[in-house]
Amino acid sequence: MAQFDFDLFVIGAGSGGVRASRMSASFGARVAVAEDRYLGGTCVNVGCIPKKLLTYAAHYADDFEDARAYGWSLEGRSFDWPTLVANKDKEIARLNGVYAKLLDDAGVRRIEARARIVDPHTVEAGGKTYTAERLLVATGSWPTLPEIPGVELAITSNEAFHLKELPRRVLVAGGGYIAVEFAGIFHGLGAHVVQTHRGELFLRGFDDDVRSALAGEMTRRGIELRFGHVPKRIERAGAALRAVLDDGSAYEVDQVLYAIGRAPNTKGLGLAELGVRLGPLGEVVVDELSRSSLDNLYAIGDATNRLNLTPVAIHEAMALARTLYGRQRTPVDHENVPSAVFSQPQIGAVGLTEAAARARYGKLDVYKTSFRPLRHTLTGRSEQTTMKLVVDQKSQRVVGAHMVGPDAGEIIQGIAIAVKVGATKAQFDATVGIHPTLAEEFVTMRTAAKRD
């Protein structure tokens, strides 16, 4: 008789938890996963997927306007927010079903309840206890809010996907990718948007040229950026809200959305009581194999606060399953992970920023171009696309690639392969471009804008 009910008990059925469960089961492990909210976690339900759908919707405003220059007449167009939300919800429900089937087909036991760790081998969920040889925390993260008067009147990204009406005036507080994306979404759908951020420029961690370029484009589109300022209180103003900033200025809006960061969702799991080492935000501190300070307890994804991206959580899950049950020790690899911000226009990036590359390698060659895309030679739109390559001067390896412009995420995904395998600038130059495309600029930049 088996000593434990399961070989692996997973807490959290987000992207990481589901992948770890399925992969481990495919290697022959007996697996259970507990989830008290929704299958697919943040990404599927209140993150990547619905956000991208809303981004598509917002972009139609530009597309319709640009179509006139190409001979199309689109009179009488209108937008209906409830229709968008209903169709989005239908797709999310479909994906929830897909995730359930994937787990069931893999032989994973699904437990629809909040789990709490009782001891190193025991978990309580839904009034029942289960034992497992190993435990995995994959509980993701949760939006944070500031402690200011009236903050209860604001919403976070969680609620933004379920608003009954489209607000016509929105203040977005925050400077990360979620704040930038929602500023673009609401603006594209017709709202007047103000975005506040405590720093001098948003998107800390991205290349400075990229940050500046996007700020310019957002301002050109009509989004009001208030850098260096944050709301100090929110109060009711009749049917509206009044957000008062730290400089005394105030904005009357229909909605205040906070996107100032997310914290690991680890409270109440029983980790502290077990003596599991936690970081300052409550993140589970793990090694390269995702193992915590408790030998049989592991953690992946946002709960570890390493690199909080859905594909990274999936990568960590696959590496863990191979390590534990696939007889293949697989450390996680967080080097040269590509990312995108689905702002308007988009950001795509892989590798090091110019500042980070200079700190690591010293002397650099930096290639940069900024131009108006061919599409807008007819529309008259002044939007600029910016592209940048960061090259280690000694080895001539391309160690960073950055872009602001249409389809930047799609383009950088391909460029990421070259950066990951260590391609040199000469190899980029030797690649024939596809003409006329935006992406060809990455292989036609011949003259360095900056050479240390």
pLDDT tens digits along 274-297:
999 999 999 999 999 999 999 999
Catalytic residue among 187, 229, 376, 435: 435
DSSP label at residue 174: -
Q: What is the pLDDT of residue 371?
A: 97
Tell me the mean pLDDT in the region 150-179.
98
Tell me the mean pLDDT in the region 108-119.
97
Backbone phi, psi, residue 351, to 5°: 85, -155
Distances from the Cα of 161 to the Cαs of 86, 183, 294, 441, in angstroms? 10, 14, 37, 36
Backbone phi, psi, residue 390, to 5°: -110, 120
Q: What is the pLDDT of residue 1?
A: 39
Q: How many CB atoms lie within 10 A of CB 210?
A: 23
What is the residue-averaged pLDDT of the chain? 97
Distances from the Cα of 274 to the Cαs of 97, 121, 268, 330, 427, in angstroms? 35, 11, 12, 27, 52
**Which of helix, strand or coil describes residue 304?**
helix
Peptide bond just before 143 cis, omega within 30 deg: no
pTM: 0.96
Tell me what percent of the residues of the chain surpass a pLDDT of 90. 99
Q: What is the pLDDT of residue 314?
A: 98
Domains of the chain from N-terminus onward: 6-143+263-325 (3.50.50.60), 151-260 (3.50.50.60), 339-451 (3.30.390.30)
Q: What is the pLDDT of residue 338?
A: 98
Distances from the Cα of 326 to the Cαs of 119, 290, 318, 330, in angstroms? 26, 15, 10, 10
Q: What is the pLDDT of residue 422?
A: 98
Distance CA 22, CA 395 (A): 41
pLDDT tens digits along 309-333:
999 999 999 999 999 999 999 999 9
Q: For residue 141, with 0-12 CB atoms within 10 Å meaning exposed, 13-18 middle and 19 or more buried, which class applies?
A: buried
- More confident position, 76 or 385: 385
Q: Is the pLDDT of residue 376 over 90?
A: yes
Question: Could you tell me the pLDDT band of residue 2, with boundaries at 50, 70 and 90?
Answer: low
pLDDT tens digits along 241-277:
999 999 999 999 999 999 999 999 999 999 999 999 9
Question: Could you tell me the pLDDT band of residue 76, with boundaries at 50, 70 and 90?
Answer: confident
Is residue 334 part of the annotated active site? The answer reads no
pLDDT tens digits along 195-227:
999 999 999 999 999 999 999 999 999 999 999
